[in-house]
Structure 1
Amino acid sequence: MTNGSRQTVDRAFEIIDVLAEEGGLRGSAVADKLDMPVSTTHDYLQALVATGYVTKTDNVYRISTRFLEVGQQQRHRMNVFSAAQDELETVAEETGEHVTLMVEENGQGVLLAISEGEDAVSLFAYPGARMPLHATAPGKAILAYLPQESVEEIFDEHGLVAVTNQTITQREELFDQLETVREQGYAVDDGERIAGMVCIAAPVLDKSDDVQAAICVCGPRSRIDAQRRAEIAEVVRRSANVVQVNLDYA
């Protein structure tokens, strides 16, 4: 790919990102946001509309649902999603809490599936949401089973940003915690991404012991005391094992 082609692709996705972030904009507003000539922006927008990935209504451009279609196709192709789908619902029913399946992609945590029990607190999460691995229980469960050099690369690229005042931002402290995760088989996030919420997650390994995902249960700290944490930890560990079996023998 030539530099010119790469710049063209980069610009197109910058426009898509701006439209996704803002919800919808006129062409002139997109140009202002990206400091691009209006005429050039218009050409990009028209090309994106022609592909079906952007819509135009009353001169306002928006991301189309084509992205949802593509994302759903990819999600259903992922073996771990099929292997975990029913199990997530079982865990949500058993715990009554918010249950998620996370995978690692390009050094970030991506929520692949969500199931909510009857007492679940709405976390404004959705399939496809991305978040830093170091600040979440499922992210730490995944990091604990990645090769150390891969973890170092992720930290170098994405940093250890403080999402809340409880987020672990020191590399040495985090590596110590990842060692604990490996010893006990689960990870805990106590207000590290969302203040007042406790999340407990276990890694899903394949038959080669490579980590494929993590299953997580989240609930308010007020009802997840030490005893309940232990109970949920056992649930997610058992659930991750069920998904591993489903994944290995599907």
Structure 2
Amino acid sequence: MTKSSNRSVERAFAVVDELAENGGGRVSDLADRLDMPVSTVHDYLQALVETGYVSVDENEYRTTTRFLEVGNRERHRLEIFKAVRDELETVAEETDEHATLMIEEDDQAVILAVQEGTDAVNLFAYPGARMPLHATAPGKAMLAHMSDARVSEIIDRHGLVAVTSRTITDPDVLYEQLKRIRQQGYAIDEGERIAGMVCIAAPVLDKSNQIRGAICVCGPRSRIDETRRNEIATVAQRAANVTQVNLDYV
């Protein structure tokens, strides 16, 4: 593929990202936000409409559920998604909180599956949502089982951006916490991505001891005291262990 072709693909996906981020848009607005000629944006949009990935109604363009179809196909191909089976639902039922299965992709934590317990807070979490690894309990659980060299590469590429006032932004503090996570077998984030929320995550390893993902439980700080944290950590670790065993038989 030529450089010009690469550039065209990058621009087309920039248009898609802009549509998804803003819930749609008109050609002129997209052109202004992306700093592209109106004619260029229009051509990309027309091509996306023809392929079914974008729809248009009264000059307002939006992404379609075709992307959801593509994502779901890939999700169901992943071994860890098959291996988690009923475990995530059990975690949500036992804790009454918000439970997620997350993986690492392109240096980010990505939600693969979500289950909500009876008391779960609406976190607007959905499969495919992405977030910084260092700012989440499952992200830190996964980082803890990567090599120091890999962690360093991720920090060099993306930095340690402050998502909230409690996000870890000092590499030395992060490395120290990753060491503690390996020792205790689970990770905690206390409002590091969402203020007022406590999240507890256990890593899912395969038989080669490679990190495959993390199972996480989130709830309001007011509900998750020290005793309950230990209980939730035990539930998450059990679910991660069952998922790890299931990976051998997928």
- Aligned twin of 2:153: 153
- Aligned twin of 2:210: 210
User: Is the partner of 1:222 in helix, strand or coil?
Assistant: coil
- Aligned twin of 2:75: 75
> How do 1:91-170 and structure 2 match up within 5 A?
91-170=91-170
- TM-superposed deviation, 1:95: 0.6
> How do 1:226-241 and structure 2 match up within 5 A?
226-241=226-241
- Aligned twin of 2:51: 51
User: Is the partner of 1:189 in helix, strand or coil?
Assistant: strand
> How do 1:168-247 and structure 2 match up within 5 A?
168-247=168-247
Distance in 2 between the 1:117 and 1:233 partners? 16
- TM-superposed deviation, 1:167: 0.7
Distance in 2 between the 1:236 and 1:43 partners? 48
Give the letter aligned to residue 146 of structure 1. M
Distance in 1 between the 2:170 and 2:61 partners? 42
Give the letter aligned to residue 103 of structure 1. I
Please give the per-residue CA displacement for 1:202-234, whole angstroms capped at 9, x wherever unaligned.
Answer: 000000000000000111111111111111111
1:135 and 1:168 in contact (8 A); partners too: yes
- TM-superposed deviation, 1:162: 0.8
- Aligned twin of 1:25: 25
Give the letter aligned to residue 160 of structure 1. L
Distance in 2 between the 1:204 and 1:211 partners? 6
User: Is the partner of 1:209 in helix, strand or coil?
Assistant: coil
- Aligned twin of 2:63: 63
User: Is the partner of 1:115 in helix, strand or coil?
Assistant: strand
- TM-superposed deviation, 1:23: 0.9
User: Is the partner of 2:248 in helix, strand or coil?
Assistant: helix
1:85 and 1:113 in contact (8 A); partners too: no
Distance in 1 between the 2:137 and 2:29 partners? 39
1:37 matches 2:37? yes
Distance in 2 between the 1:218 and 1:37 partners? 44
Distance in 2 between the 1:114 and 1:17 partners? 23
- Percent of matched pairs sharing the same residue: 67
Q: Name the count of aligned residue pairs.
A: 250
Distance in 2 between the 1:92 and 1:138 partners? 16
Distance in 1 between the 2:213 and 2:56 partners? 37
- For normalisation by structure 1, the TM-score amounts to 0.98
- TM-superposed deviation, 1:189: 0.5
Return 5+ residue gaps in structure 1 as ranges. none
- Aligned twin of 2:90: 90
- TM-superposed deviation, 1:85: 3.4
- TM-superposed deviation, 1:26: 1.3
1:99 and 1:114 in contact (8 A); partners too: yes
Return 5+ residue gaps in structure 2 as ranges. none
Distance in 2 between the 1:162 and 1:33 partners? 25
Distance in 1 between the 2:232 and 2:221 partners? 13
Give the letter aligned to residue 57 of structure 1. D
